[in-house]
Amino acid sequence: MKNIEVGQAMSPCSRLSGGSSGTCASQGEPMNRAFRIMVIEDSETQAFKMRLLFEEQGWQVVAAGAAEGALAALGDPLPNLILVDYNLPGMRGDEFCRRIRMNQDTRGIPILMMTASAPDRAEILSLESGADDYISKSDSPEDLLARIRGLLRKASARSAIVIPQDSAFRSARILTIDDGPTYLAYLGDELRSQGYEVESATSGPDGLTRLETQSFDCVLVDLVMPGMDGIEVCRRITAMRSTLGGALAVIMLTASENKGDMNRGLEAGADDFVSKSGDLAVLRARIQALMRRRVFQEENARIVDEIKARDLETLQARASLEIAEARATLSERLIQVNHDLQEANRS
């Protein structure tokens, strides 16, 4: 935050509390519980200053430089509050909020959005996306702590646990297929910096072999390659989809913007078509859009499965009740028949 100096990081709560660490008397209640705060900020300097500020309050700090990395780091224990920059590389802060609110285990975590630019527009988009509050980076450390404490007081305690390997927030795994080692290295570095896990293959057959033995969420395949070109690779992937499991997105990459090639790629089963000569931000945006669709599909499938499971439990409970009632009725009838026989014998 622009006006948080490292030397000042220990002062806000001391001034508010009269020097008692972890307690702000002006807030009316002690806040010395070891809250877990997740900070998502791509500036290492700003993240370091906030870490100093929060640790002075006795809070645990988990830092991430990108939203994708933060999603992958969510687990047991969940943070008590998330402080996220609006303008992040890759996935923006408002998209991160939507992802958090989509998951039943994390939708109750308070989120405080911060930004240094376009405050009016960012504030509206932040709140609409699910953020609980918004603060400008030009605000003082005291204002930041006050907003955080307010959110922590209002937050309801939650005990939900996300198991990392089962979490929908795991890092997306991307396979890049290209016969150019230099471009593969460049693309891999860029995607890893956005929090993705990246594997590479230098030919179509090598890429298909990796798909048979490993699990991926997205494949980036070059259109023009010696031997097996991108179109054939895409056709093979389309034929393999039923055995791959999950929703696999395929993006075709090309050095030229030929409409005929684009149509052939889409007909072969590609989900998108991106020029290599274009801004890499476009490719990142296309990947995010496809991964967002995958998350929606998986979440919808999970909800459907939960509904089916609950319906099955209801039916089983109803059947058990009906069986118990039938047994009780049969028992009463047997008792009555036995009583009638005894009366008949006596007469």
Using one digit for the tens of pLDDT, what is the confidence trace for 81-110? 999 999 898 888 988 998 888 887 788 889
CATH of residue 245's domain is 3.40.50.2300
Asked if residue 341 is part of any domain, the answer here is: no
pLDDT (tens digit, 9 = 90+) per residue, 31-85? Answer: 456 899 999 999 999 999 999 999 999 999 999 999 988 988 887 789 999 999 9
Q: What is the pLDDT of residue 154?
A: 66
pLDDT at 296: 64
List the single range of 45-59, 116-130, 274-288, 319-333 with lowest mean pLDDT: 116-130
The domain boundary, picked from 165, 194, 220, lies at 165
Neighbours of 78 (CB within 10 A): 18
pLDDT in tens, 252-308: 998 876 778 877 888 888 888 888 876 787 788 788 777 766 766 666 667 677 777
**CB 24, CB 31: distance < 8 Å:** yes
- What residue has token string 């860029």? 190
* Secondary structure of residue 61 in the 3-state scheme: strand
Choose the weakest-confidence range: 4-8, 151-155, 241-245: 4-8
Region 202-225: mean pLDDT is 94
- Find the angle CA(210)-CA(212)-CA(216) to the nearest 5 degrees: 65
Let me know whether 135 and 179 are in one domain. Answer: no
177 and 276 co-located in one domain: yes
Give the mean pLDDT of the chain: 79
Same domain, 22 and 125: yes
Burial class of 67 by CB neighbour count within 10 A (0 to 12, 13 to 18, 19+): buried
Range of the domain at 62: 6-165
Give the domain-ending residue among 165, 187, 215. 165
Inform me whether the pLDDT recorded for 232 exceeds 90.
yes
On whether residue 315 sits in a domain, the answer given is no
Please say if the pLDDT value at position 245 is more than 70: no
Q: Are residues 10 and 145 in the same domain?
A: yes
Indicate whether 87 belongs to any domain: yes
Instruction: Verify that 225 and 277 share a domain, yes or no.
Output: yes
The alpha carbon of 93 is separated from its chain's Cα centroid by a whole number of angstroms, namely 12
Please tell me whether residues 17 and 36 are part of one structural domain.
yes
Contact between 67 and 40 under an 8 Å Cβ cutoff? The reply is yes
In a shared domain, residues 218 and 290: yes
> Does 199 fall in a domain?
yes
Q: How many domains does the chain have?
A: 2
pLDDT value for 6: 33
pLDDT attached to residue 169: 62
Indicate if 200 and 103 belong to the same structural domain: no
